[in-house]
Structure 1
Amino acid sequence: MEQESIKISRIVAKTTAKQNEDCYAVCWIKNGAEAIEINKKQYKDVSNAVYFLSPDLDWKIVKEDATASSGYVLYIPKNILNHPIFKNLHITQVRLFSVDEIPKINLSPGIETRVQAILEMIDELLSTNLKHREDAILSLLNTFFVYCDGKCNIKSVITDKNAKSTLVYKFKKNVDQFVTQNHDVGFYANSLNVSDKYLNQRIKEVLGVNAKGLINEQLIMRSRNSLKFTDKTIKEIGYELGFSSPDYFSYFIKKNTGHTPSQIRMS
């Protein structure tokens, strides 16, 4: 990888526009942006989304103000995507950078902070002359694609309105906020004014999994994080995550991961 082959810039100015005619652009818009304009057509509701834009497209991101960063734009030359490190990624096999359809991914709530950290590290590395810098950047870019390829992200193509994806995204945001208090699908369906059946159908259509599966995934992710990176007891973690007893928490973890909480902690 050549020293300046990948570039990254923060979305700070009121207008961030295409800079490189020969590069793919990956735009991660965190918040504070009004719209993304692609080939002179504006699309709203752009926060918490990753857009994959081919070199053939003219685009710009319009912000409300320039007081804070609203994410990052990665510029990736075509030859980089041919690197062997990316060859087994499903996300490249489905031709993510498509001219006919513009891919858009709404990240699962728990993934947002990880993506931000990855892009911040790429930004930092690009400003240094550290040994093996290029290898580290490629590895981080690969990790970024892996997170984007996660089954519980909402993958679609860019449109003005996508009611199904919007409902699923609202469900996932509610789960992120309330999962330690309520594990029941009915609670989230009621909060969105839909039936359990309708919510499950829409989630199945968009993500290929059911609502309970997403709730369980969030609980498992939080459990693993607490078990590996805190000194809290298994009992404390179970109660913090809303389980009625330590035994039921251990049963849940064993059933869904194949390992006990103690085994996860020691791994």
Structure 2
Amino acid sequence: MKPDSINITQIIEKITIKPNSHYFAICWIKNEVESIEINHVAYKNVSNSIFFLDPKYQWKILKKDNATSSGYVLNLASDILNNPILSNLHINKVRLFNSGEIPLFKLSPGIEKRTQAILEMIDELLGSQLNHKDDAILSLLNTFFVYCDGQCNIKSVVSNNNSKTNIVYEFKKLVDQHVHELHEVGDYAKRLNLSSKYLNECVKEVLGVSSKSIIIEQLLMRSRHALKFTNKSIKEIGFELGFSSPDYFSYFFKSHTKITPSALRKS
């Protein structure tokens, strides 16, 4: 990896302007940002989003007036994206950076902390003299792109009026908050004052999957984490996730993963 193929900066200044370069830019906007201007068009309400910007775009980020960091800008040369570790990812196969639109990912609640951790590690490694740091950076980039390409994130394009994307984001925020008690699409549609049919339509259009699959994915993700990283019993985990009995939790888990909770815990 060439020394100047990648650099990363925190969004701290009042205005962060694109450097005069041929780099692809990945802007992770955490919060406290007034807007991002792309080719002189301002887009607001962009917190918890990742923008993928082709070198042909001029851009700047306008930050609110405080001293805290509002995210990161990751600049990548084309040789990084063409690296064999990254080149086979779906995110590159669809030529995300060259689609003629300005793609963004609205991060699901909970994923943003992992995103921040990955970018912080990349920042730390770039400033270090550790052996094999290039391999570690590429591995972290691969993980970052996998997260961005997963169904847990809301794929969209930059728009001043994308109501369906906003509905899906609110739905996913509710799932994150209430999945331990609400397992049915109708429960979330009711809280959003929508019909289940329209909520499904929005989720299908924005994410390409069903509303129910979002709920299932969140339950499985929390189940896996609890089974692998806590000492809670399978019975406790099932009840905490809103399942009526340990048997039903085991049936649900196995039907979607082809493995029982106890077998996962032992693996």
Which residue number corresponds to residue 150 of structure 2?
A: 150
Partner of 1:181: 181
The equivalent residue for 1:136 is 136
User: 1:87-111 CA distances to partner (integer Å, 9 max, x unpaired)?
Assistant: 2111011111126211111122232
**Counterparts of 1:1-267 in structure 2 under 5 Å?**
1-98=1-98, 100-267=100-267
**In the alignment, is the contact (CA less than 8 A) between 1:56 and 1:99 conserved in 2?**
no
Contact 1:35/1:42 (CA < 8 Å) preserved in 2?
Answer: yes
SS of residue in 1 equivalent to 2:98: coil
CA shift, 1:257, in A, is 0.7
Structure 1: 5+ residue stretches without partners: none
For the 8 Å contact 2:5–2:79, the answer to whether it is kept is: no
Which whole-Å CA distance do the structure 2 matches of 1:172 and 1:223 have between them? 17
State which drifts further: 216-225 or 184-193: 184-193
Alpha-carbon distance between aligned partners in 1 of 2:53 and 2:258, rounded to the nearest angstrom = 40
1:85 & 1:99 partners in 2: Cα distance? 21
C-alpha displacement at 1:5, in angstroms? 2.0
C-alpha distance in structure 1 between counterparts of 2:231 and 2:35, whole Å: 43
What value does the CA root-mean-square deviation take over the aligned residues? Answer: 1.2
**Separation of aligned partners in 1, 2:242 and 2:134:** 44
Give the Cα–Cα distance (whole angstroms) in 2 for the partners of residues 221 and 146 of structure 1: 15
Q: Aligned letter for 1:27?
A: C
Identity rate, percent: 62
**Which consecutive unaligned segments of at least 5 residues does structure 2 have?**
none
TM-score (norm 1): 0.97
Q: Which amino acid aligns with 1:75?
A: N
TM-score for the superposition, normalised by structure 2:
0.97
Deviation for aligned residue 1:20: 4.2
Instruction: Give the whole-Å Cα distance in 2 for the aligned partners of 1:192 and 1:34.
Output: 26
SS in 2 for 1:34: strand
State the one-letter code of the partner of 1:128. Answer: S
